[in-house]
Amino acid sequence: MKEDMFLISEIERYLEGEMTVQEKAAFDELRRSNPQINRQVEEHQLLVQELDHLGKRKDLQAQMDRIHQQLDMPAIRTTVQEATQAEKRARIRRRTIANLAAAACIALVTSLSTIAIIQNSSRNKSTAQYEDVRRVLNNIQRSQNALINDIKDKNKAPLNPGTYGGTGFAVSGNGYIVTNLHVVAGADSIYVQNTKGDAYKAVSVFEDISSDLAVLKIADSTFKSQPLPYALKPQSITLGEEVFTMGYPRDEIVYGKGYISAKTGFNGDTTAYQVSIPVNPGNSGGPLLDTKGDIVGIITGKQTTSDGIAFAVKSAHLKRLLDEMPKDKQSKKEWAHKSKLEGMNRVDQIKKVQEFVYLVKVYN
């Protein structure tokens, strides 16, 4: 007991640094040689440290409690409350602004996409409603044509009936033919064939995209000039006037009768008439004639959504086209005469006209 006490006081002296240098050296030596004493020293050190810690902590706690008591709590409370309220208000405002911004963004996106969709669909509808009446030739017609070609041995046209078909009509005695540009567009070679079955090679010599017209020239030595029976009437004609057309929706020439139903074409197109007349693929480029036998337009297309509504380019555009053509001087003179068909009955008119209406076959 006495020894233990002595040891403790020695340890305390050692830790407090109260020992002399020699004593300290001796004690260090003792710690090294005696692990039990060493452990006691360490334990004591830890104990005193913790005690000290406890004391300091208590002091601090007491000090803090004192400070806390001195704080002006009511004042702090009010400032804190004010700050909290201000922050809450700011947060609500921020949230409102964020919500508004999100809503605005959504509205913007929605309206823009709606506009885009509507525009797109209306465009789609337009193209869906309008249809060029050129004909895609199928196999049945091909074989039919092949039979005809067999019978007519002087025919030089290739047996292949072509990829596309349309109608054209002569605008001069010496082999100029007008048809729709969309019939001959992208063609490698073009053949025209009349009602007698005579086929001639033709080349496109003049094209006009805006009015969808093309002028072909028969480039064949066997073609014989003939004076035209009809004339071109460049003036606009009246609403409801009876008109007729001839064309090749099949390999056989087909007659169709109708009337001018509106003075503008598809979607208010002023370069065309709306005609109430039965047309089918293959009628494209066919002539539109009035009762006197004057050319008043060229059939170009029809509306798919309703039956019997066709469109025809006005003859004024054909006249302009022919005027613009530099080479064709002869045709101008020929238009000067009056129509030879005036006063004839329809059957005779058809008989005269059909010789100048050609089936246009396009290869590409």
Partner 1 sequence: MKQIQDIAKDRDLLLGLARSDGKSLEIIYSDNFPVVLRMILQHNGTEDDAKDVFQEAIIILYEKACKGDFTLTSRLKTFLYSVCRHLWLKKLQSNHGMYALPTELEEIIPAEEIVDDHEAKDEQFRIMEKAMDSLGQPCKTILEDYYLHKHSMQEIAEKFGYTSSENAKNQKYKCLMRLKKMFFDKYNTSL
Q: Which residues would be at the binding site for partner 1 (CB under 8 A)?
A: 4-5, 8-9, 43-44, 47-48, 50-57, 59-61, 63-64, 67-68, 70-71, 73, 76, 79-80, 83-84
Q: Give the separation between CA 165 and CA 167, rounded to whole angstroms.
A: 7
- Selecting among 212, 251, 290, 294, the annotated active-site residue is 212
Nearer to partner 1, 56 or 351 (CB): 56
Distance set, CA 156 to CA 144, 150, 189 (Å)? 16, 11, 14
- Selecting among 172, 204, 211, 284, the annotated active-site residue is 284
Nearer to partner 1, 47 or 209 (CB): 47
Q: 224 and 265 in contact (C-beta within 8 Å)?
A: no
**Closest residue by Cα to residue 324 from 224, 211, 170, 219:** 211
CB of 130 to partner 1, least distance (A): 59
What HEC string does 295-332 produce?
EEEEEEEEECCCCCEEEEEEHHHHHHHHHHCCCCCHHH
H/E element, 165: strand 164-170
CB of 51 to partner 1, least distance (A): 5
Catalytic residue flag (residue 284): yes
Nearer to partner 1, 61 or 119 (CB): 61
- Selecting among 132, 172, 182, 331, the annotated active-site residue is 182
CB of 21 to partner 1, least distance (A): 24
CB of 69 to partner 1, least distance (A): 11
CB of 11 to partner 1, least distance (A): 11
Nearer to partner 1, 44 or 263 (CB): 44
Q: Give the separation between CA 52 and CA 50, rounded to whole angstroms.
A: 5
Q: 295 and 231 in contact (C-beta within 8 Å)?
A: yes
Nearer to partner 1, 91 or 332 (CB): 91
Assign 3-state DSSP to the chain and report helix, strand, coil percentages, each to 5: 45, 25, 30
What is the set of active-site residues? 182, 212, 284
